[in-house]
Amino acid sequence: MGSVLIIGKPNSGKSLLFNRLTGIRQKVANFPGVTVEVRVGESDGEAYADYPGVYSFNAMTRDEEVAIEEFRSALKSEDVSVVLCMIDATRLERSLVIGLQAQVAAKEAGKPIVFALNMMDELRSSKAEIDVAAIEKELGAPCAAISARTEEGLPELKILLKKVKTTPKDYISNQVTESVFEKAKDINSKFGPKAGLILKNQTQLDRFFLSSVFGGISFFFIMTIMFQSIFTWATPLMDLVEESIGWLATFTTGSMADGTFKSFLNDALFGGFGSFLVFVPQIFVLTFIIGLLEDSGYLARAALICHRPLSWFGLSGRSFVPLLSGHACSIPAMFAARTIESPRRRLLTYLAIPLMACSARLPVYSLLVAALIPSVSILGGLVGLQGFVFFLLYFFGIFVALILSAILSKTLYKTKTDSPFIIELPPYRPPHWKPLLLKSLYNSKMFITKAGGIIFAVTVVVWVLGYFPNGDGELGSSYLAQLGQFIEPLFAPLGLDWRYGVAVLMSFLAREVFVGTLGTIFGIENAEENFVGLVDSLNASGFTLASGVALLVFYAIALQCASTLAMMKKELGNWKAPIAVFFSYGILAYVLGWVSYVFVNSLN
């Protein structure tokens, strides 16, 4: 049977409904313009397609145009049997504008249309009502009152869709109108919710979150809490993982005779791969907090607050959400950047995203911070010093990105033509706990499986090169050391010996590899001991503060991520730009790393 096209206004709940119907995990967030590509899914032999939301068939950006074109041509296809138009019942008039236009298009193509009046739960909780039967009559098309969140009305909607699919001819609207704006207004004023009820809550909260004084303070406060908690909340969990790995290592290898196999288990598996697993809780906490913000509706407010300051640097308030998601991973961040209407600002945002402290940098940062910075409290016990340095690292990435963007927008991309900054402010919503937890778990799992394979392979290679030809403990005369001598001159200016050089070079495969490689190398070196935490090994190796700062600066800037480069190529259409970015960020990272090394050294 043919598929169902789900369309409608941005932020009306299309993707949530799609997920409910298909069991797929399409991204849902309380922000207009989350879905940027058509996604098709199937369940029980029924196919559904989730479209990016639009306010009308008048496309403004290239991506909107693509989505609308796709929708129109899908309508002509034999495979499509029904259009399901999502109506946000709390934003009835706006939803009906695109709904009525879709009705016209569906009729022209000879396809039936069904309306889903979503957010019934929200309508109820703000004590507002709509007249579903009257709206159905006005529209001349079947309507189902649903809540994609509470799942009320979904069984009925499925039955309705089946019925329409069996006799589609009976459901082709003949009540279409060309004056959609008038009709949308008319239906809303006659049968929609009473004015003022819906927005009461939102207006009150905005009075605080967007106030001239508290708006800025609360923005800063929320961001600080967010970055701090990645460090502080995750620490107990990380300690737990580290202890478990140590326990497992002792348990399995404790009674084993010394030898190649024991060294492999201890150094490559537990020391190398295990050191990387320690950081998974941070990914979990990070996803969880960004998810909280996405659910809440605050992101649109943050975009507003940041618009002015960001535009001083050539960016826009629209860049805020991509830059924030860049702290988890650049790939979804670049997808999010597609909603930036202005091509110039979009390009600058693409260049800024890889400088955000993404989750792959987290293991590197945490390891170095834990090794370099004493675990003490500052500001009268209010803030941990380590957490504070972490915050500075995040800030440093943002700072470099803004400076670069300002320079580029003043020199390379001077064109003045720009698109408007208009953004809908969605209602504030309580978080959706269960999907949020599931998503955070899923992301942690993805973090392990995606980087895990490559890290495991690298640790095995490093272990083999480090263990042979001499066997245990003789790292200094191993193959790895011989190779290491070659690259040492490159890292000597940063005060780093070949062991760190190898780890840095390996991390061009993926940043997290740095931790696994060091774990393996120090594992081989400390052969006598059983499992030792990597932080202790680092401290014992004569690692200096200056070198540590140099490494932190290097990792904050260098673009060591193949997927980001590939995505950049896809978005910009050529390899030239990503290659240029790769080399310029690499050189900048090295030079600034060296400058910080010299600077910190001069302080002692």
Partner 1 sequence: MKLWELQKDQAAYISGFIESVPKIYFNRLNELGFQIGVEVVCQRQSPFGGPKVYQIGDDVFSMAKDVASCVTVEIGE
Ligand X SMILES: Nc1nc2c(ncn2[C@@H]2O[C@H](COP(=O)(O)OP(=O)(O)OP(=O)(O)O)[C@@H](O)[C@H]2O)c(=O)[nH]1
Task: Give the residue with the Cβ less far from ligand X, 121 or 472.
Answer: 121
- Residue 92 sits in the site that holds partner 1 (CB under 8 A): yes
CB contact at 8 A, 171 and 141: yes
Place of tokens 């673009």: 559
Question: CB neighbours (10 Å) of residue 125?
Answer: 10
CB of 299 to ligand X, least distance (A): 10
Candidates 67-75, 405-413, 416-424, 577-585; binding stretch for partner 1 (CB under 8 A): 416-424
Token readout for 247 is 């326990």
Single residue of 20, 27, 56, 248 touching partner 1 by CB under 8 A: 56
Report the b/e string of 54-80 with b at 16+ CB within 10 A: bbbbeeebebbebbbebbeebbeeeeb
Antiparallel, parallel or unpaired: β 113-118 and 80-88: parallel
Least separation, in Å, of the C-beta of 34 and Mg ion? 5
Nearest-CA neighbor of 581 among 602, 599, 604, 564?
564
The interface region with partner 1, picked from 51-59, 151-159, 164-172, 445-453 by CB under 8 A, is: 51-59
For position 110 contacting partner 1 by CB under 8 A, the verdict is no
Q: Determine the Cα–Cα distance for residues 278 and 334; give it in Å rounded to an integer.
A: 28
Contact with partner 1 (CB under 8 A): which of 304, 324, 360, 364? 304
Among 3, 12, 15, 61, interactor with Mg ion by CB under 5 A: 15
Answer whether 75's CB lies under 8 Å from 110's CB.
no
35 makes contact with Mg ion (CB under 5 A): yes
Among 237, 241, 425, 600, binds partner 1 (CB under 8 A): 425
11 touches Mg ion by CB under 5 A? no
Q: Which two tokens stand for residue 302?
A: 């943050």
Give the position of tokens 């675990």: 375
Measured distance CA(181)–CA(165) in Å, rounded: 29
Site string for partner 1, 313-342 (x = CB under 8 A): ----x-------------------------
Residue 383: enclosing H or E segment and its boundaries?
strand 383-384
Helices 361-372 and 385-411, axial angle in degrees (round to 10): 130
d(CA 565, CA 581): 9
- Which among ligand X, Mg ion, partner 1, none contacts residue 305 (Cβ within 5 to 8 A by kind)? partner 1
Count the site residues for partner 1 by CB under 8 A.
42
* Contacting residues for 427 by C-beta, under 8 A, at least 6 apart: 30, 90, 122, 198, 201, 202, 297
Binding partner of 32, given Mg ion, ligand X, partner 1, none, CB within 5-8 angstroms per partner class:
ligand X
55 interface partner picked from partner 1, ligand X, Mg ion, none, CB below 5 to 8 A per type: partner 1
Closer of 146 and 303 to partner 1 (Cβ):
303
Q: How far, in Å, CA of 393 to CA of 363, rounded?
A: 13
- State the binding partner of 122 from ligand X, partner 1, Mg ion, none, CB within 5 to 8 A by kind: ligand X
Site residues, ligand X (CB under 6 A): 10-16, 28-30, 32-35, 52-53, 118-119, 121-122, 147-149, 295, 429, 432
* Piece of 156-164, 302-310, 541-549, 561-569 that binds partner 1 (CB under 8 A): 302-310
Residues that bind Mg ion (CB under 5 A): 14-15, 34-35
Residues that bind partner 1 (CB under 8 A): 55-56, 58, 60, 90-94, 97, 181, 188, 192-193, 195, 198-199, 202-203, 206-207, 210-212, 215-216, 300, 303-305, 307-309, 317, 418-425
